[in-house]
Amino acid sequence: MLSIIQAAGWPIWPLIACSILGMALIFERFVALKTARVAPPKLLDEAITVSSKSVPTPDVVNQLAQNSALGEVLATGLRTLNSNPQCSETDLRSAMEGAGRSVAHRLEKYLSALATIASAAPLLGLLGTVIGMIEIFGSQAGTGGMGQAMGGGNPTQLAHGISIALYNTAFGLIVAIPALIFWRYFRSRVDAYLLTLELASEQFVRHILRLRKVK
Q: Are 76 and 96 in contact (CB under 8 A)?
A: yes
Domain limits for position 26: 2-214
Asked if 48 and 209 touch (Cβ cutoff 8 Å), the reply is no
Number of domains in the chain: 1
Q: For the chain of 215 residues, list the mean pLDDT of each consecutive stretch of 10.
A: 65 89 96 94 92 86 93 92 84 92 94 95 88 73 50 63 79 94 97 95 90 66
- What are the backbone dihedrals phi and psi of residue 196, each rounded to the nearest 5 degrees, phi first? -60, -45
In this structure, are residues 158 and 143 in contact, taking their beta carbons and an 8 Å threshold?
no
Instruction: Give per-residue pLDDT as tens, 98-126.
Output: 999 999 999 999 999 999 999 999 999 88
Tens digits of residue pLDDT in 119-139: 999 999 888 888 878 777 766
User: What confidence score (pLDDT) does residue 52 get?
Assistant: 85
Buried b (16+ CB within 10 A) or exposed e, 136-159: beebbeeeeeeeebeeebeeeebe
**pLDDT, position 86:** 81
